[in-house]
Amino acid sequence: MPPPPDFFRRFPMRPVFSADLDAVLAEPEAEALDILFLWGRDCPNCDLAKHALLADPARFSWPGVRWLHDNVYDDFEMATRFGLHGIPAFFVFHRGRLRGRITSWPGAEAFCAAIQRQLAT
């Protein structure tokens, strides 16, 4: 499955690099949750996640949730920082503190349920 064209324009996520991540997570708009999507070019599982996000963008938009992303093939430091063994990987932060990790793409239902649990705590 090829990557969806213009994914990051159609599902807005802020690009972030390893060197800037802590500062971005400390910004005042980081009120509820930040979801960091770590992906790679030509990654079939990353493309599955992207297609799922575009299939129903409203389902993956929660008040107070900010999406961030990084192509770890272009930012090996980010992959090392989080000890990645595969992508996609999603890291959930609350006010700069790591709260959870979703590895691989578990499907829309499981992903949304995991984020809803984080929002409820």
For the cut 90, the answer to whether the pLDDT of residue 44 exceeds it is yes
Q: Is residue 87 in some structural domain?
A: yes
Examine residue 2 and state whether it is found in any structural domain, yes or no: no
Domain presence at residue 55: yes
Residue 14 in any domain: the answer is: yes
What is the pLDDT confidence band of residue 51, given thresholds at 50, 70 and 90? very high
- The reply to whether 45 falls in a domain is yes
- pLDDT tens profile 61-75: 999 999 999 999 999
Q: Is residue 1 part of a domain?
A: no
Cα 78 from Cα 31, distance rounded (Å): 23
Domain count along the chain? 1
For residue 50, tell me if it sits in a domain: yes
For 49, the domain range is 7-120
CATH code for the domain of 105:
3.40.30.10
CA angle 117/64/56 to nearest 5° reads 75
- Read off the pTM: 0.94
Residue-wise pLDDT for 4-26, tens only, equals 889 999 998 999 999 999 999 99
